[in-house]
Chain A
Amino acid sequence: MIRRLFREPPKYLAILGMVPKVFMAYQLWFWIGLVLSTIAMAILYFFWRAVYGGTQAIAGLTLDTTLTYILLAQVFRPLTDVDLIYEFGYNLREGGIVHHLLRPLNFQGMFYAQSLGNLATQMVLQIPMALVATFVFGLRWPADPVVWGAFLVSAIMGYTALFFFVYSVACLTFYTTEVWGLGVLFFGMSLFLSGGLVPLAMMPGWLRTVVLSIPFAQALAVPINILTGITPLAQVPQVWLSQLVWVVSLWLASNLVFRVALRKVTVQGG
C-alpha cells in the first residue's frame, strides 16, 4: 500500500507533463488568444469605469476594488477552464475512450492530472496578460504573502470542485454523444457564473444565491475575493471549509455518475 503511494503519483505527473508539450504544437493559438484577451480586458476596464462615473461605491465596493477584482479575475481566468466536455465527446466519438480504459490507471485521476497540467500551462501563458494588466491598466497586486497563501488554497479547492462538476456533466456525453451545444452552453455559463465579469457583491440577492449554488464561482469569484480583500482573512477558514464540502460532495457525485455512465460504455459498447 505504502509502496503504491510512492509509485502511483509519478505516473499521473507524467500525464500532467504532456499537456504543455501538446499545447506548444499550436503556437499560433497563443498569439491569437493574447490579442483577444487584451481586448476583453480593455472592454471590461472601460465598462466598469463608465458604470462608476462619479459614484464612490457600488454595493460597498469602490471603483479601485472593483477594477482590481475584474483585472485579477481576467488574469486568473484559466481557473474556470475545465475543458472536459469536448475531450470526452471527442474521445467517445473517435473510440479513444477504449484506450483510456485500457491504461492501468484511475480514469478520473488521469483526467484530473491532465486538467491540472492544462491549468498550469494556461497560467504560465497568462504572464503577458498579467503584464498588460499591471502596466497598461494599473493593476496593483496584493503584497501580503498570507493573502496569497489563502488565495492559492482556495483556488486549488475551487478548481478541483469545478473539475468534479464538469466531469460529472461530461459523463452525459456518454449518452448524448453530442458535445458542441453542451460545450458552448458551459463556456457561456462559466464566463458569467464564475463572477469574472461582475463581482458577486453587485449581483441581486437571488442571482447571487444561484451563482453560489453552482460551483463555477468557487473556482474564480471566491478565491479572487480573498485575493482582493473583499473577503477578509478572518473569514477565510470558513470559506475553505465550505469549499472542502464542495470538493468532497462533488467528488462523490462524480464517481457515482461515472459508474453509471461507464456501464453505458462497457455494457452497450459505447
Chain B
Amino acid sequence: MSVIEVSQLTKVFRIPKKEPGLGGAVKGLFRPRFEAKTAVDHIDFKMDSGEIVGYIGVNGAGKSTTIKMLTGVLLPTSGSARILGRDPHRQRVANAREIGVVFGQRTQLWWDLALIESLNLIARIYEVPPARYRQMLERFSETLDLGDLLKVPVRNMSLGQKMRAELAAALIHEPKVVYLDEPTIGLDLIVKERIREFIRSQCAGTGMTVLLTTHDLGDIEELCQRVLIIDAGRILFDGPISAIRDRFGKYREIAFETVAPAAGLSLKLPRGTEVVEASEHRLRVRFDRTRATASQVASQAMNQTEVLDFSLSEPDLASIVKQIYNGALVK
C-alpha cells in the first residue's frame, strides 16, 4: 500500500476581486466579486514508504497548497488525498500523530523559551516514551549539533540554528510521513549540508517518507531519487532525476577559443547546431546530442578555423529545470 495516495486532487480559491480607488472599495463592500483561482489542478501521484520525493515548481505553482491539503489543514475542492489510508482533513487529529511538518517560513517552537522546553512539550503531546525521547534527543544533539542550542531561547537563534531546531521539533516523535516545505531557505552552504545529511540519516532504514519542496536543486540532487515538477497547478513531470536529464537535457554546449575574432567567423556546422555566443575570441555553440555528436561538432569547427582550446559542458539540473519552467515542455 502506498503511504501517500493523491488522486485528482484539486483546490480552487475564491479570491475577492478589488477594483481600484475608493469607489471600488465601496462597491466591493456591497457587492463583493470573486475570482476563482485554481491553485492545484487535478493532480495524481503516489509515494511509497521510505521514498524521498522532491516537489519543485516556481513560486505560486501550487506546492504549498498541495502540502496543506496533505496535512489536513486545507480542505480540497475535489479529489482525494489518503495518508496511510486516512483522509487527512476528516481525521485531522489521527493524521497529525503520524506526520511531521516543517514550514521554512514559520515556526512551531515557543519563541520565548529555551528549545528544550518546546521539545519536552512536543514529546509529551506526541506521547514519546521518556527513554526513547532521551535517545532521540541524544541522536539529534549529535547529528544536528544541538548541544548548546537546547538552552537558548528560539528568539535568540540565527536562521540556521532555528531551522535545525525546527527539524528536531518536527521529527522528535519519529513520524512516518514528513513534509518539508523549503527547509533550506536562506541558509548558508554548511548548514544546508548538515541539514541534508540529517534528513538522509533519519530516512535511512526507518521507512520515513519525505515530501520535500525546495528551490534549491542541490537539495534535490543530494536527497531525492524522484522528482515531481508542478506548474500552474498541474504536474508536468514525475520520475527519477536521471529521466529529467535524458528527456529535457538533450542540448550540450561547446565553447571554443579561436585565434581569429569569433564574430567574423561563419562556420558550417552539423544540423541542429546554433551559435549561442560569439564575442572576441570566444565562440559558444549549442547542439542537439541526439542529432550530432560532440566530436562531429568540434572536428568540423576545427577544420574551418584555428582553435586554441575548447570545452564541452553538460547542462546542469538548474538550467534544465529553468527550461522546463520557461515552458520548454509545452512545445
**Could you give, for residues 93-108 of chain A, a 1 whenever the CB lies within 8 Å of some chain B CB and a 0 otherwise?**
0111011011111100
* Least CB separation from B99: chain A residue: A102
Q: Which of A183-237 contact B (CB under 8 A)?
A: none
11 contacts between A and B (CB under 8 A): A11-B127, A18-B113, A22-B110, A22-B112, A96-B107, A101-B92, A103-B125, A104-B94, A106-B93, A263-B75, A269-B74
Q: Which of A75-112 contact B (CB under 8 A)?
A: 94-96, 98-99, 101-106
Decide yes or no: A269 and B13 within 8 Å by CB, A14-B125, A102-B71, A102-B96 being known contacts: yes
* Least CB separation from A17: chain B residue: B121
Residue among B71, B75, B99, B105 facing the most chain A CB atoms (10 A cut-off) = B75
Q: Would you call A266 an interface residue if the criterion is a C-beta within 8 Å of the partner chain's C-beta atoms?
A: yes
Is A269 a contact partner of B65 (Cβ separation < 8 A)? Answer: yes
What's the Cα separation between A216 and B283 when bound, in Å? 80
10 extra interface residue pairs, beta carbon distance < 8 Å, beyond A11-B127, A98-B71, A102-B99: A15-B125, A21-B113, A25-B153, A26-B112, A96-B106, A101-B73, A102-B96, A106-B93, A266-B73, A268-B14
**Could you give, for residues 236-270 of chain A, a 1 whenever the CB lies within 8 Å of some chain B CB and a 0 otherwise?**
00000000000000000000000000010111110
Is A104 a contact partner of B75 (Cβ separation < 8 A)? Answer: no
* Least CB separation from B65: chain A residue: A269
Is B108 a contact partner of A11 (Cβ separation < 8 A)? Answer: no
CB distance from B38 to the nearest CB of A (A): 13
CB distance from A255 to the nearest CB of B (A): 15
What's the Cα separation between A10 and B72 when bound, in Å? 25
Residues on B with beta carbons closer than 8 Å to the beta carbon of A106: 93
Residues on A with beta carbons closer than 8 Å to the beta carbon of B101: 99, 102
Decide yes or no: A102 and B73 within 8 Å by CB, A25-B153, A268-B13 being known contacts: yes
Is B112 a contact partner of A25 (Cβ separation < 8 A)? Answer: yes
Is A104 a contact partner of B125 (Cβ separation < 8 A)? Answer: yes
CB distance from B314 to the nearest CB of A (A): 40
Residues on B with beta carbons closer than 8 Å to the beta carbon of A22: 110, 112-113
Is B108 a contact partner of A99 (Cβ separation < 8 A)? Answer: yes
CB distance from A219 to the nearest CB of B (A): 27
What's the Cα separation between A7 and B126 when bound, in Å? 11
What's the Cα separation between A170 and B43 when bound, in Å? 36
CB distance from B162 to the nearest CB of A (A): 14
Q: Which of A1-56 contact B (CB under 8 A)?
A: 7, 10-11, 14-15, 18, 21-22, 25-26
What's the Cα separation between A11 and B110 when bound, in Å? 16
* Least CB separation from B112: chain A residue: A25
Number of interface residues, chain B, beta carbon within 8 A: 33
- Among B68, B89, B120, B126, the residue within 8 A (CB) of A98 is B68
What's the Cα separation between A268 and B89 when bound, in Å? 14
Residues on B with beta carbons closer than 8 Å to the beta carbon of A265: 73
* Least CB separation from A269: chain B residue: B74
What's the Cα separation between A15 and B121 when bound, in Å? 7
CB distance from B172 to the nearest CB of A (A): 13
What's the Cα separation between A14 and B123 when bound, in Å? 10
* Least CB separation from B106: chain A residue: A95
CB distance from A48 to the nearest CB of B (A): 39
Is B96 a contact partner of A103 (Cβ separation < 8 A)? Answer: yes
What's the Cα separation between A104 and B106 when bound, in Å? 19
Decide yes or no: A98 and B103 within 8 Å by CB, A104-B125, A269-B13, A269-B68 being known contacts: yes
Residues on A with beta carbons closer than 8 Å to the beta carbon of B110: 18, 22
Residues on A with beta carbons closer than 8 Å to the beta carbon of B106: 94-96, 98-99
Decide yes or no: A25 and B75 within 8 Å by CB, A101-B92, A268-B13 being known contacts: no
Q: Would you call B289 an interface residue if the criterion is a C-beta within 8 Å of the partner chain's C-beta atoms?
A: no
The 6 closest A-B pairs by CB, nearest first: A25-B112, A104-B96, A99-B108, A14-B124, A104-B97, A266-B75
Residue among A10, A15, A21 facing the most chain B CB atoms (10 A cut-off) = A21
Residues on A with beta carbons closer than 8 Å to the beta carbon of B97: 104
What's the Cα separation between A16 and B13 when bound, in Å? 36
Residues on B with beta carbons closer than 8 Å to the beta carbon of A266: 73-75, 89
Q: Which of B152-175 contact A (CB under 8 A)?
A: 153
Residue among A26, A99, A102, A105 facing the most chain B CB atoms (10 A cut-off) = A102
* Least CB separation from B124: chain A residue: A14
* Least CB separation from A95: chain B residue: B106
- Among A7, A15, A105, A267, the residue within 8 A (CB) of B75 is A267
Is A18 a contact partner of B121 (Cβ separation < 8 A)? Answer: yes
Is B73 a contact partner of A98 (Cβ separation < 8 A)? Answer: yes
What's the Cα separation between A10 and B89 when bound, in Å? 25
Is A10 a contact partner of B124 (Cβ separation < 8 A)? Answer: yes
Is A11 a contact partner of B125 (Cβ separation < 8 A)? Answer: yes
CB distance from B303 to the nearest CB of A (A): 61
Is B126 a contact partner of A104 (Cβ separation < 8 A)? Answer: yes
CB distance from B224 to the nearest CB of A (A): 23
Q: Would you call B238 an interface residue if the criterion is a C-beta within 8 Å of the partner chain's C-beta atoms?
A: no
* Least CB separation from B15: chain A residue: A268
**Could you give, for residues 102-137 of chain B, a 1 whenever the CB lies within 8 Å of some chain A CB and a 0 otherwise?**
010111101011000100110011110000000000
What's the Cα separation between A263 and B74 when bound, in Å? 9
Is A95 a contact partner of B105 (Cβ separation < 8 A)? Answer: yes
Is B93 a contact partner of A104 (Cβ separation < 8 A)? Answer: yes
What's the Cα separation between A130 and B117 when bound, in Å? 31
* Least CB separation from B11: chain A residue: A269
